[in-house]
Amino acid sequence: MSDTPYSPKGPARPGAAPRAGVTAAMQGADERRRAAATIARLKAELAAQAALIASQELSLAHSRKIFDRASVAARLGVWECSLPGEQLAWTDVVYDLFDLPRGSALDRSEIIKCYPAESRKALDTMRGRAIAERSGFNLDAEITTFAGRSRWIRITATVECEAGVPVRIFGMKQDITEEKILSDRMRYLAEYDVMTGLANRGRFQARLAHADEGRPLGALLLVDLDGFKAVNDTFGHVVGDECLKEAAKRLAAGCGEADLVARVGGDEFAVLVGPHLDRGAVSGLARRIIEAMGKPVPACGQSLGLGASVGIAFAEAGASCDLFTQADTALYAAKAAGRNTFRIFKAEAGVRGRSAAA
């Protein structure tokens, strides 16, 4: 028998495939499965990213809605201005603050006219400094809107730079009109007498206490109404209040050159004058006050008679903190002299710590 291997001849049997073909088909199937899996994974990632973006957009829209509502409630808007082009961009609330239609064209040269001279000067100064120093500023400014309304706004600003060059200035503007009115009212109540409109005792004492800090005083006149208690007791507090108002009006009208006119007690007033008035001028002022206060006061259909006694102390007689005591001493001397007159405080010569009124 031959040792030569046997090789079958003739065509292969039906259904039989080469081993290499089977392997290629299997590899192709694997690649398709991997590709399908990759596509499925990428689609899942894209879907997740789309869901995240949609969630973020929803959150952003919600935040924007909250900001818009808060902005309207707080009367607070955002603004920006390009540099050096001076092109403005505003949010809706800023348009509302200036009484302009939302989205209308903005011209800074026209907008700046809404600021009165004093506010415009302050804005120009602070804005110019902020741009030069690459910084920012805060400013409370008055405006007159395009509808003619007077408002106060609080401006905050920050300068943005690129490569050290200012490219825009931006910030917020808020309506603080009500806050300003309340603040002014509180300051008024702290410094002025509500009944007469004159400065109150607190403001008078503050001015007296700071007399040695660059704003020297010349003299103090203390004015006490003569006959007021009798009027108040006879006709009541309503009539008495009318007398006080009339007295304050006459005092303010006759003391135009005074540094300060104040109501410092029930029926007692104070007049502070500067050093530009000499003794003769101050004495003349006291005489005019007494004459004005001596005129009848019409009230409740009657003509009521009042008067005034005046005590004067000059700043040269001692420290400003002693002025009130000295003027009060002179006032008592004027009352002792028969009222409706004035007396000037004069330190007794050679007797330290004692005083007299003459």
Among the listed ranges 55-64, 268-277, 302-311, which one has the minimum average pLDDT value? 55-64
Q: State mean pLDDT over 331-339.
A: 93
Note the pLDDT of residue 162.
94
Average pLDDT over the chain, rounded to whole? 86
Q: Are 76 and 94 in contact (CB under 8 A)?
A: no
Q: State mean pLDDT over 79-91.
A: 94
pTM for the predicted model, two decimal places = 0.64
Q: Tens of pLDDT along 191-248?
A: 999 999 999 999 999 988 887 666 788 999 999 999 888 888 888 888 889 899 999 9
- Token digits of residue 2: 């031959």
More confident residue, 100 or 35: 100
CA-CA distances (angstroms) from residue 8 to 12, 13, 14, 242?
Answer: 9, 11, 15, 141
CA atoms within 13 A on the CB side of 172: 10
Element (H, E) at 184: helix 177-191
Amino acid identity, residue 246?
E
Confidence of residue 96 (pLDDT cuts 50, 70, 90): very high
Confidence of residue 356 (pLDDT cuts 50, 70, 90): very low
CA dihedral for 64, 66, 69, 70, sign (positive or negative):
negative
Does pLDDT of 4 surpass 60? Answer: no
Strand locations in the chain, DSSP E?
A: 76-82, 88-90, 136-144, 150-162, 165-175, 219-226, 260-263, 268-273, 297-299, 302-304, 307-314, 342-347, 355-357
Q: Tens of pLDDT along 150-170?
A: 999 999 999 999 999 999 999
- Choose from 38-42, 47-51, 117-121, 295-299 the range with maximum mean pLDDT: 117-121
Does pLDDT of 335 surpass 50? Answer: yes
Note the pLDDT of residue 68.
61
CB 142: neighbour CB atoms within 10 A? 17
Confidence of residue 125 (pLDDT cuts 50, 70, 90): very high
Note the pLDDT of residue 351.
37
Q: State mean pLDDT over 305-309.
A: 90
Confidence of residue 282 (pLDDT cuts 50, 70, 90): very high
Does pLDDT of 72 surpass 80? Answer: no
Closest by CA to 312, choosing from 225, 226, 250, 219, is 219
